[in-house]
Each structure stands twice: as C-alpha cells, then as structure tokens.
Amino acid sequence: MAYLKKDLGMAKTISDLEKSSTTYTINYFNEMNGYFHPGKNSISWNPKMALDCTKNGGSLSPAMVLGHELTHANKSWFDKLLRAILPDSFFGDYDNYEERRVVTGAERNAAKTFGEGTRYDHRGSSRIVSSPTSR
C-alpha cells in the first residue's frame, strides 16, 4: 500500500476505503488475475502477478493490479448503477463502463506517476515477477 499511496489518486482511494464503514478484505491467491468481489467486499490478488499491456508494450506491477481492484471497490455502487443504464457493448475493448473508468482514470494516472505501462483496453497478459512492485 505504501507504494500506491505515493500517487495522489491512489492515496485518496485507499483513504476512502479505510474511512468507509464497510470492511474490505484483500485475499492473496495464486491465480493469474485480480478480482474485486462486490458481494463480499473483497479483493483477490496475486502479489507476484504483473500484467503486460497489449497495445503499447508496457507492463503493470502487481501493486498496480491491486490499485486497479481497489479503485473498483471504492465506487462499486457507481458500477452497479451505470451497468443498469449503459450496455457493456458500448465500451468495446474496455468491456464495460466500470473498466473504462478505472483503466483510463485512476490506473492510467498512477501508471504515469510510477513510470508503469498504460493500457488502452481492459486486456493484458499475466506473468510472474519477484515482488509486488516488479514489472
């Protein structure tokens, strides 16, 4: 979390979640993905899974993958509302509005702060790295 808090947007997201009356849990697992589970208020995260971006050759650290999922957790009510209004097909390679919001907003801004890759879709190839901040 200390790494992510060096970005103002991620620091605010983490602060919002810490101040929330809802308890959020981060579960470590070995799968090659990360998930926010809105019904459980939990995130499943692999601290050694980096993500290679499909369109620009950059990569995201496992910490950035966690930041992506934390951003989902921070606005899960918003996702529910918009998915009821807007069809997912409208958002193409981002899959739905929520993924577009997270990828083009908080994730992209934090990636610039940390010199990590930026995505232009909700895609990527997973691979194992040595630490949460490795790429």
For the chain, list the strands marked E by DSSP: 25-28, 35-37, 42-45, 49-52, 59-60, 125-128
93 assigned to some structural domain: yes
133 assigned to some structural domain: no
pTM above 0.75, yes or no: yes
Q: State the burial class of residue 60 (Cβ atoms within 10 Å of its Cβ: 0-12, 13-18, 19+).
A: buried
Residue ranges making up the domain that contains 57: 4-128
27 assigned to some structural domain: yes
- Number of domains the chain is built from: 1
- Residues 93-122 pLDDT 10s: 777 778 888 989 999 999 999 999 999 877
116 assigned to some structural domain: yes
134 assigned to some structural domain: no
135 assigned to some structural domain: no
Taking the CB of residue 30, how many other CB atoms lie within 10 A of it?
A: 9
16 assigned to some structural domain: yes
